[in-house]
Structure 1
Amino acid sequence: MKNIVILISGSGSNMAAIARTAQKEHWPDKLGVRVAAVISNKPDAGGLALARDFGIATDVLSHRDFASRETFDAALLARIEAHAPQLVVLAGFMRILTPGFVEHYAGRLINIHPSLLPAFTGLHTHQRAIDMGCKVAGTTVHQVTAELDHGEILAQAVVPVLPFDTADTLAARILTQEHLIYPQAVRAFFALKKLSEA
């Protein structure tokens, strides 16, 4: 069985979209793939209860308990490795990861970002798209590299920016698309892996 570990910091809606798709499409039986664990850096993350509802193992490792980013990432890596993952998925995990951590999972660490990369890396993507007068916005699934929001693009979804959009209304429409493309991108990752191993 190929294991996925998902990292979250908040509500876990993208994690739940992946878990729901995995259940609905019978990934364990059909792909030999399962979501093995959900790990959060915040004890009060709403996504932890959601993960438990799906029968997924959960773990909490608070970054506040560590003196440096490096020591936190080393401890996080050890928790992840306990599940022998083929893929590590960032789903609203609000931490910038150290180069050593990223290098360890090179080629098997993915993230979803709420813009059409390479446009609008970083934060406040929706407001920035509106302020720039963009006609479209969207979301991107990408490989994680040491450079923030710059890895290989795996999937994108485009959403129109409407005349009376606020950052919140645009974010809500984009989130709907995130819930569609993230599970698809995870499934495609394993399908490509299967092909390359054939």
Structure 2
Amino acid sequence: MLKLVVLISGGGSNLRSLLEASEDAEFPARVVAIGADRDADGLAHAEEFGIPSFVVPYTSYPDRESWGDALLEQIRLWEPDLVILSGLMRLLPERVVEALSPQLINTHPAYLPEFPGAHGVRDALAAGVTETGASVIVVDTGVDSGPIISRQRVAILPNDTESTLHDRIKLVERELLVQAVLDIANGTIDLKELAS
């Protein structure tokens, strides 16, 4: 059974999909803890599903490195097999990535390597392209530049706004994430091999 720690900043819709998937006794992974960098709405899922949670507020630390060290300390308490960034809106310090990688994955609302960064959906709309996508990647020390685990195209409709497009991308992201966790747990995907 793969032990997961999931890190969030917002509502945690991808997290919820994982929690729902893991309610199936056959699903080979369990979320053992949920962490956040602020008092995130998604922590309500932890309460609802009876999962322990922790908050390491970014604003309580003098810099990103000391915040990262405190976050890493919390993560390590749970001895996870896999750490998932699920809408964590902060770049992890390099030494945190290096300590956890390649057992550190992230979802991104674009068909990487297209439109990396915090505004993937907005950037795709601004570029006037007809399709974008969703990706699951191994986190490295760059910005959305790690090895791609899976990705899928999502069409951009003529009347799409950032919100409507993002909502459709999230549906695909959730499916990709649950499948990626399943494949990692079953050994179909070898993160060490992928990252080498």
Report the TM-score when normalising by structure 2.
0.92
**Could you tell me which residue of structure 2 aligns to residue 114 of structure 1?**
109
Which segment is superposed worse, 47-56 or 4-13? 47-56
For the residue of structure 2 that corresponds to 1:24, the secondary structure is coil
The one-letter code matched in structure 2 to 1:151 is G
**Could you tell me which residue of structure 1 aligns to residue 38 of structure 2?**
42
Question: 1:6 Cα deviation (Å)?
Answer: 0.3
Task: Say yes or no: does 1:134 pair with 2:134.
Answer: no
Residue among 84, 93, 96 paired with 1:101: 96
Give the superposed CA RMSD.
Answer: 1.7
Question: 1:24 Cα deviation (Å)?
Answer: 2.7
CA contact (8 A) 2:35 2:53 kept: yes
Question: Number of paired residues?
Answer: 191
The percent identity for this pair of structures is 36
Question: 1:141 Cα deviation (Å)?
Answer: 0.3
- Unaligned runs of at least 5 residues, structure 1: none
Report the TM-score when normalising by structure 1.
0.91
Question: 1:106 Cα deviation (Å)?
Answer: 1.4
Question: 1:2 Cα deviation (Å)?
Answer: 3.3
Moved over 2 A (4+): 24-27, 193-196
CA contact (8 A) 2:7 2:86 kept: yes
Q: State how far apart, in whole Å, the 1-side matches of 2:137 and 2:190 are.
A: 20
Deviations 1:32-66 (A, max 9, x none): x31100011112x1111112211111111111110
Task: Say yes or no: does 1:158 pair with 2:153.
Answer: yes
**Could you tell me which residue of structure 2 aligns to residue 23 of structure 1?**
23
- Unaligned runs of at least 5 residues, structure 2: 192-196
